[in-house]
Chains A and B, each alone.
Chain A
Amino acid sequence: MNRKLVAAAVVILFIVIALAVIAYAFLAAIPAYEITYKEPASAVHASLGKTATSDTIALRLNSVTDGSNPATAAAWAKYNLESGLASGIWLYNVSLMPPPSDSYLVANLTLTNVQHTPVPFSYAALALLTSNGTAYYANYPACNANCSAQALDNQTLNAGFSSDLYVLFSVPAGTSAAKLVYTTSNPVIVMSAN
């Protein structure tokens, strides 16, 4: 009987451990977080290549291309170098090589100050939206030296400012951009990517 008891205890222990391992593996799965963005009713809209205007800035989405596109990569390299030199600190060259299973999309925008006074701007308020409303907030910007000093270093656009701006977005591989949205202007600016 004693041997049976020991054997039973050992078997039960193994079963408990096996169930614990299975439960652990199941419970320890990392949940995936996705942000959805709901456009406010007051948002102003523009189609690709057209300009939309808020109270402080105007934005025109010229293109959204994959980072592996040679022309995009060349522009990215050129403006990373110019941005770095403009900052007066040191070069920060941001790679266009995404991690496995991700893609880098680069938006080319034209940014304009529509006021006669300096206005605030932050690239971090830009989000790329998919057709189902999933939002991917901006990763990194690059533009020419004059643009970089105002839009990126000081985050303030002087009167008369107008420049192209490149903004990197990291998305899951295979993701297509449906819209680009500038989330902090009044009203919010929504630009179609197609």
Chain B
Amino acid sequence: MREHPHTARYVTLAVILIVVASLLFPLLEGMGAAGFLGDKTYLVVLQDNSETRSTGGIISLMGVLTLHDGHIENLHYYYSHTSTTMQAVVPLDGPESLTSFFGFNAVNLSDSNVQYDFASFASKVQSDWYNVTGQKLDGVIGMDFTAVEKILSITGPITSSGEVITDRNVWQRLEFYSSRQNGTQMASLLSTLTYGTLGLILDASVPQKLALYNAFRDLANEKHLFIYPDQGLLLGTGDGTNRAPQSDSISVVDINLGNGKSDFGINRSIDYHVQLLPDGSAVSNLTLTYVNGDWWGSDLFSQAVVPPGAKLVAVYNDTAQFDGPGITNGTDFTVFSSRFDVSPYTTARITYLYTLPNLTYGNGLGTHYDLYVVKQGGIDRYGLNTSVELPAGATLIHTENVGSNRVFTDDAHVSVVYTT
């Protein structure tokens, strides 16, 4: 067969176009997000992840940031406990597993991050912010104290209100300001850091810029940093959307109902045993374990979000002051929710035994079972122990992430392929 005389030229041109496009699209997205293609106004939400809330942590500050050609045009932070804006009461449209359990449907704006994922909160808070202030937002940036630490490790130390702030002391300094309700000093620190980070993006050396970009990607993957709406290739899945496909899934969404900043001292792990039946349906045994290594307790409200159609068979707990379980049946999920104490230096466990409809699928290679474990924002890491029991007579072909003592800092995918 004779080759077309221009084939090589076309292939070379195509390769060059692919390379240029792959460089250009993130650049355009970055420029758009930074206000080069029109001013952008973001709501910046600082979440204290030592006090767990659904989307990452209790909200310490909210700020309005306007970018123009990559520079900060305007920046103002509001402290959650003293700002009348953040104390404004907003309606809640869910999640039902929370509102039904406690019987309320409105909260302060500063307490409104109760959705199962950041993207759901971000779209709602944009609307709430407009209703409260009349100000339109282009997006919402969420970051927790872990993200602040990481960003400071790249920008280097800063001086705020005369104090030297480093990546080593920023966490406790923010806690100290919060404990004294010193919103001014907290806002000052965040303002200095915001200006410093934007300055670094524009003026830093190439290694610093790359380090910052790498850090942002890692923080987004590990759900310490969110930018909503999705910025495409720039930050991957950084908008915080729960993207678990139609398969088996577990998303544990905890809320610390007390205070005392106890969540940093609690290790979380998920034990999951699933028995696959010949018709593809399953019997699942999910145990959530909380090991409190610190000297004060935690009052936790835990929501286990699992696939739609799940039917709770039994619940076991060895926790203190157990309240629940609540069961919420939605079109996209089922939620088992409970409230319990994790006392100092103790271990609390709660087990849900439930059935699942057929979530396996077949292709030429065999039958596939997939489990997606969705990490909650703000949590540093969790342990995962999974075991999958195949139908009688089935032959195992392949497994991924099945077994004990695995530790994840991001979402996990467990996969099993077998033949029957």
Contacts and interface: CB of A to CB of B under 8 A. Distances in A.
A188 B260 CA distance: 35
A121 interface: no
B233 interface: no
A3 B260 contact: no
Interface stretch (A22-30, A43-51, A109-117): A22-30
Contacts of A140: 172-173, 175-176
A33 B156 contact: yes
Nearest to A183: B164
B406 interface: no
B294 A95 contact: yes
A9 to B, nearest CB: 5
B394 interface: no
A139 B296 contact: no
A13 to B, nearest CB: 6
Given A2-B8, A140-B176, A93 B296 contact: yes
B178 interface: yes
B355 interface: no
Majority DSSP secondary structure for residues of A touching B = mixed
Contacts of A13: 15, 19
Contact of B3 (A2, A27, A97, A152): A2
Interface residues of B, number: 47
Contacts of A170: 168-169, 172
A180 B173 CA distance: 19
A153 to B, nearest CB: 6
Interface in B215-252: 215
Interface in A136-157: 136-141, 152-153
B15 A9 contact: yes
B11 A6 contact: yes
A29 B207 contact: yes
A77 B169 contact: no
Contact of A6 (B8, B207, B293): B8
B207 A139 contact: no
Interface string B162-173: 011111110111
Nearest to A139: B172
A143 B291 CA distance: 28
A41 interface: no
Given A92-B179, A93-B262, A27 B296 contact: no
Contacts of A30: 153-154, 211, 214-215
Interface in A76-100: 77, 83-84, 87, 89-95, 97
Contact of B213 (A28, A90, A92): A28
B32 interface: no
Contacts of A6: 7-8, 11-12
A124 interface: yes
A139 B12 contact: no
Given A6-B11, A84-B179, A24 B259 contact: no
- In which size bucket is the chain A interface? 35 or more
Contacts of B311: none
B150 to A, nearest CB: 9
B398 interface: no
A178 interface: no
Contacts of B179: 83-84, 87, 89-90, 92
Name the residue among B19, B167, B178, B295 with the largest chain A CB count within 10 angstroms. B295
A127 B8 CA distance: 65
Contacts of A173: none
A122 B172 CA distance: 15
Given A27-B206, A93-B262, A33 B12 contact: no
A3 to B, nearest CB: 7
A33 B166 contact: yes
A145 B68 CA distance: 48
Interface of A: 2-3, 5-6, 9-10, 13, 24, 27-31, 33, 35, 73, 77, 83-84, 87, 89-95, 97, 102, 122, 124-125, 127, 136-141, 152-153, 168, 170-171
Q: Which 10 A-B pairs have the closest CB atoms?
A: A92-B179, A28-B210, A140-B172, A139-B172, A2-B8, A5-B8, A33-B156, A124-B163, A27-B207, A170-B168
Interface of B: 3, 5, 7-8, 11-12, 15, 19, 50, 153-154, 156-157, 163-169, 171-173, 175-176, 178-181, 206-208, 210-211, 213-215, 259-262, 264-265, 293-296
